[in-house]
Amino acid sequence: MRLQSRTRPATTAPRRRPATTRSPRVETTAPIRRGDKRDRILRAAIDVFAEHGFFGAQVAHVARTAGVAAGTVYLYFDSKDALLVSIFEQTMAEVIAEGRSIVDAASGPTDRLTRIARMHLGRLGRDRRLAVVIQVEMRHSLKYVERFSRAHVRDYLALIEQVIAEGQADGAFRKGLNAKFAAKAFFGALDEAATSWILSRRRYALRGLADHVVDLFVHGATS
């Protein structure tokens, strides 16, 4: 969910695909799996895009994976691009809805940030293939990055900014802190943690980094 795209050098060897081997210790079934054909197609698209790359994937392969005819995919989605957009938009809608519930239920600004971080990293950590699509595949096209940064990501950042601003009003965070920039910094730390987890050869629980991100954000690096 990074706001900046990762451009591909024009004259390099084909990029290595992030490993998508499933590990039962850090992954479970993806959240997009509710039974109807549309959701089955979205789940299949996640798996195919993660395995073959968005640009290397074919709608026919998505259809086979979903167990539907190729024409059925086009009843729900106009194109392969529409599949990618829908994966992101549905995921972010769920993240924002859960984030708002967290903000309403938590007891203070630090607790809210901690719960948001655990939710953010926990959701990606439960579904490595979804994480690959969101963190890697989506970013190879600048048009997607620009579109998403203006829509759902903006709303997500606004939610984090709200938590930080309320913390400033309560005296928990410094008054002189730029809340908008601080929200981007917090989001950026979570985003980098997720991307590093995908690219790492080690297997570890991504959600376990949430508290470290919040601790560094709230207390800094001083003793």
Residues of the chain with pLDDT under 70: 1-35, 141-150
Which residue ranges form the domains of the chain, and what is each CATH number?
79-219 (1.10.357.10)
Residue 68: CA count within 13 A, CB half-sphere: 22
**What is the crossing angle of helices 109-126 and 80-105, to 10°?**
150
pLDDT of residue 147: 66
Ordered alpha helix ranges (H), the chain: 37-52, 59-66, 70-76, 80-105, 109-126, 128-135, 142-150, 152-170, 179-199, 210-219
pLDDT of residue 24: 37
Residue 201: CA count within 13 A, CB half-sphere: 1
pLDDT tens across 83-110, in order?
A: 998 999 899 999 999 999 999 998 999 9
What are the two backbone dihedrals, phi and then psi, of residue 165, each rounded to the nearest 5 degrees? -60, -40
What secondary structure does DSSP assign to 85-102, as a single string?
HHHHHHHHHHHHHHHHHH
pLDDT of residue 22: 42
Q: What is the DSSP letter of 27?
A: -
pLDDT of residue 21: 43
pLDDT of residue 140: 76
User: What angle is formed at CA 71 by the lines to CA 62 and CA 82, rounded to 5 degrees?
Assistant: 60
Rounded Cα–Cα distance for residues 153 and 74 (Å)? 27
pLDDT of residue 132: 96
